[in-house]
Each structure stands twice: as C-alpha cells, then as structure tokens.
C-alpha cells in the first residue's frame, strides 16, 4: 500500500476504475453513471467485456487498456474518486484507491463494507443501479476528502499488519492446543 502514498498536494479531477473487464465487475454501471452526469471516467484494464463497454461509452469516457503499476498509481493520485460498483469478497483495488488518497464510491455489499467508511473514505450506495450510483457520486462531490487522511486510514490494510495479526492468531491457536 505504501507505493500509493499520495503526493502532498495536487488538483484531482475525473473518476477512475481499474480491473479485469468482466460482466460481474459492473463497469457498465460506472460508464452509464458518468455518461449521465457527463463526468470524465478513465477505465483501466482489459478483458472479455472491453468491446461491449467501449460501445456504451460516451465522449467523457477513456479506456487505457493495461498500464504499468507506476502509471496506475499516477492515475489514482490524479482522480477525484474511484468507482467500485461490484460486489467482491474484499476488493484490493478499493483499498489501493484509499491508500492513494482517493475516495471510493462503492456498492454497499461484500468487502466494500469493511473497506469504505461512508463519508470518511468514500461513499456507499445501497442498490446496484445507475440511479443509486449517480446519487452517490453527487453526494461524494459535496464532501471534502483529505488525501492524507484517507492514506492514513488505509494503513489497517498493510501487509505487515496482516502478517502480525495472523502470527498472533496462529500462536494463540497453537498455545490453546497445548493446554
């Protein structure tokens, strides 16, 4: 997560999402919402759904294809928000966006409920519909998110912290078996 440390300042604009272009990721919702709001959206990645997504994209939607990790970090730092319209068990991309200081606008199911703190690190939307996502984007536009605060809150997803917690769980389990 440290590679996503946000720069001290910088103007942010437009929205971004990244990942494999497959139907269950619901990139179509993000594209339709940004089409409706006439907001810039950068779609990063590729997959079997790319051509269908490109056909529905309006003039404010840009597709980059696959990009380097360095460019992904730059795009995350430049974006006003990361759109996460799908349900995932965890959703590492949402955690990465928060580490970059970029608020996440996420469907309120699955791992997003553990990652996104509504109103603090992003905005949650209750229904997996274009209308619900549009409402969430509009709400996010009214909140002043601080990139440094988001990055600090992302530390709870750090690999080192996870390893420490897992070692403790294993040690506690081993100790209880010896008793």
Domains of the chain: 2-178 (3.40.50.2000)
Contact by Cβ (8 Å): 121, 98: yes
Q: What percent of the chain has pLDDT over 90?
A: 73
Q: What percent of the chain has pLDDT over 70?
A: 89
**pLDDT tens digits, one per residue of 22-80:** 999 999 999 999 999 999 999 999 999 999 999 999 999 999 999 999 999 999 999 99
DSSP-assigned states of every residue in 78-114: H-SEEEE-S--SS-HHHHHHHHTT--EEEESSTTHHH
Contact by Cβ (8 Å): 98, 117: no
DSSP-assigned states of every residue in 38-82: T--EEEE---TTHHHHHHH--TTEEEEES--HHHHHHHHHH-SEE
First to last CA, the chain: 38
pLDDT at 41: 99
pLDDT at position 141 over 70: yes
Across all residues in the chain, what is the average pLDDT?
90
How much is the pTM?
0.85
Contact by Cβ (8 Å): 61, 89: no
pLDDT band at 85 (very low <50, low <70, confident <90, very high): very high
Q: What is the dihedral of CA 158, 4, 117, 147, to 10 degrees?
A: 130
pLDDT at 174: 78
pLDDT at position 130 over 90: yes
Contact by Cβ (8 Å): 10, 36: no
pLDDT at position 93 over 90: yes
pLDDT band at 137 (very low <50, low <70, confident <90, very high): very high
């Amino acid at each position: 997560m440290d590679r996503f440390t946000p720069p001290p300042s910088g103007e942010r604009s437009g929205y971004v999402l990244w990942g494999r272009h497959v139907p269950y990721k619901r990139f179509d919702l993000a594209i339709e919402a940004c089409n409706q709001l006439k907001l810039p959206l950068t779609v990063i990645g590729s997959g079997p759904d790319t051509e269908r997504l490109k056909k529905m994209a309006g003039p404010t939607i840009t597709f980059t294809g696959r990009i380097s990790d360095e460019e992904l970090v730059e795009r995350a730092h430049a974006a006003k928000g990361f759109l996460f319209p799908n349900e995932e068990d965890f959703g590492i991309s949402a955690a990465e966006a928060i580490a970059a200081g970029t608020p996440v606008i996420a469907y309120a199911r699955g791992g997003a409920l553990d990652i996104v703190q509504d109103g603090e690190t992003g905005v949650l939307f209750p229904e997996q519909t274009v209308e619900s996502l549009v409402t969430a984007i509009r709400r996010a536009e009214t909140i002043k998110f601080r990139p440094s605060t988001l990055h600090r809150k992302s530390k709870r997803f750090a690999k080192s912290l996870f390893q420490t917690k897992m070692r403790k769980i294993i040690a506690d389990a081993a100790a209880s078996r010896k008793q």
